[in-house]
């Protein structure tokens, strides 16, 4: 790339010296339209429960969920994502609670879709909130059985779609699950149900607080490295995304976010599809704790999100969604 201009005729500070000109030529911008709000739900009544490892983030019983949904609607968040905290008594080796039409996710979908019409609802397709071993699939003789897991995921996806989920989000990282789910949805006439594939989900250390939030951390036996991506790999991300697009994904996700900005950029440059990123629980907790300890100020929240936009994210799943939407509206 040839660099044009020469000092002093070219002074790049000229276009930085006033707020109005910085705003005029900004290359990446953040709006409420870029945000997806994750919400944790739990059984019980009149419960709003703090998640200790994620300061400021809460679990809501369904009779209290309107407290956060009203805010999402007010600040024009385009989509929310639902994650359940499943009681231990409802977990088993095969995660069959995922197929219960009266499970937390299904009940929340029926409630939300009845009352809230202005945003979409995304639901996670994976078994880890429901399994007694904490893995995303069917565990047989100590190994995840890919193809047996697909059968359960198909039915989980169809159930969620029938309850009103707008976006099915397989986060399990089983091979072939996008094609399998897409065919199953088409067969059952859910042709408009969208699929957001967690196409590039790394076996990251940044998920710990989330596993606390859904109650799977203490249950997890071993690790997830046989199905989630190796953190050392770059080109493999292209293969994962390419396959998922061919199989019928409408959007693709890169997870985690900030540690994988290079991967977001890589996918955006190579595929002309909407790319989402997930600013995961570990990223959130690091930033919010640094702010509480006065090591960072609140501007770091905006900066952490704008860098995901700059890398190529069309939308960002973030626990800061409401905070940043409020800030944007007040500007």
Residue 219 has a pLDDT of 72
Contact residues for 246 (Cβ-Cβ < 8 A; gap 6+): 179
pLDDT digits (tens, 9 = 90+) for 142-172: 899 999 999 999 999 999 999 999 999 999 9
The DSSP call for residue 38 is E
Euclidean distance between the first and the last CA atom of the chain, given in angstroms as a whole number: 37
Give me the mean pLDDT over the 308-326 stretch.
97
Contact between 130 and 96 under an 8 Å Cβ cutoff? The reply is yes
- Residue 6 appears among annotated catalytic residues: no
Tokens in use for 80? 């929310």
**CA atoms of 62 and 41, how far apart (whole Å):** 7
pLDDT tens, residue by residue, 214-272: 877 667 878 999 999 999 999 999 999 999 999 999 999 999 999 999 999 999 999 98
pLDDT over 70 percentage in the chain: 99
The residue annotated as part of the active site, out of 201, 224, 268, 309, is 201
Domain ranges, ordered by start, for the chain:
29-330
User: What superfamily would CATH give domain 29-330?
Assistant: Aldolase class I (3.20.20.70)
Q: Cα–chain-centroid distance for residue 179?
A: 20
Residue pLDDT, tens place only, 62-96: 999 999 999 999 999 999 999 999 999 999 999 99
Per-residue pLDDT band for 331 (boundaries 50, 70, 90) equals: low
Q: What is the pLDDT of residues 273-305, one digit of tens each?
A: 999 999 999 999 999 999 999 999 999 999 999
Query: Is pLDDT at 177 greater than 80 in this prediction?
Result: yes
Give the pLDDT band of residue 3 (cuts 50, 70, 90): confident
Catalytic residue, candidates 90, 255, 268, 309: 255
Q: What would the mean pLDDT of 191-217 be, rounded to a whole number?
A: 90
Give the pLDDT band (50/70/90) at residue 213: confident
Q: How confident is the model at residue 209 (pLDDT cuts 50, 70, 90)?
A: confident
Instruction: For residue 67, indicate whether it is catalytic.
Output: no
Token pair for residue 78? 């385009």
Mean pLDDT, the chain, rounded, equals 94
254 strand-pairing partners: 200, 277
Q: pLDDT (tens digit, 9 = 90+) per residue, 95-141?
A: 999 999 999 999 999 999 999 999 999 999 999 999 999 999 999 99
Phi and psi, residue 317, nearest 5° = -80, 120
């Amino acid at each position: 790339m040839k660099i044009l201009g020469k000092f002093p005729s070219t002074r790049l500070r000229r276009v930085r010296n006033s707020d109005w000109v910085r705003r005029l030529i900004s290359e990446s911008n953040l709006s409420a339209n870029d945000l997806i709000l994750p919400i944790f739900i739990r059984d019980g009544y009149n419960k709003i429960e703090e998640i200790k490892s994620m300061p400021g983030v809460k679990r809501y019983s369904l009779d209290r969920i309107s407290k956060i949904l009203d805010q999402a609607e007010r600040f024009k968040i385009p989509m929310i994502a639902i994650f359940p905290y499943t009681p231990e008594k409802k977990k088993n080796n095969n995660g069959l609670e995922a197929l219960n039409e009266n499970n937390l996710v299904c009940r929340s979908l029926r409630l939300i879709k009845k009352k809230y019409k202005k945003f979409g609802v995304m639901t996670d397709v994976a078994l880890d909130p429901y399994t007694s071993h904490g893995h995303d699939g069917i565990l047989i003789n100590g190994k995840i059985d890919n193809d047996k897991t697909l059968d359960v995921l198909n039915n989980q996806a169809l159930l969620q779609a029938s309850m009103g989920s707008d976006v099915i989000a397989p986060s399990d990282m089983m091979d072939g699950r996008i094609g399998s789910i897409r065919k199953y949805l088409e067969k059952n006439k859910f042709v408009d149900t969208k699929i957001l594939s967690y196409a590039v989900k790394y076996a990251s250390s940044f998920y710990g607080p989330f596993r606390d939030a859904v109650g799977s951390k203490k249950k997890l036996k071993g690790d997830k490295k046989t199905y989630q991506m190796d953190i050392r790999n770059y080109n493999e991300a292209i293969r994962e995304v390419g396959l998922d697009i061919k199989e019928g994904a409408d959007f693709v996700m890169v997870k985690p976010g900030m540690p994988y900005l290079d991967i977001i950029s890589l996918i955006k440059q190579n595929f002309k599809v909407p790319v989402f990123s997930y600013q995961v629980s570990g990223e959130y907790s690091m930033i919010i704790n640094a702010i509480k300890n006065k090591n960072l100020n609140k501007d770091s929240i905006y900066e952490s999100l704008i860098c995901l936009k700059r890398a190529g994210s069309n939308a960002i799943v973030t626990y800061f969604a409401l905070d940043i939407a409020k800030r944007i509206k007040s500007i």
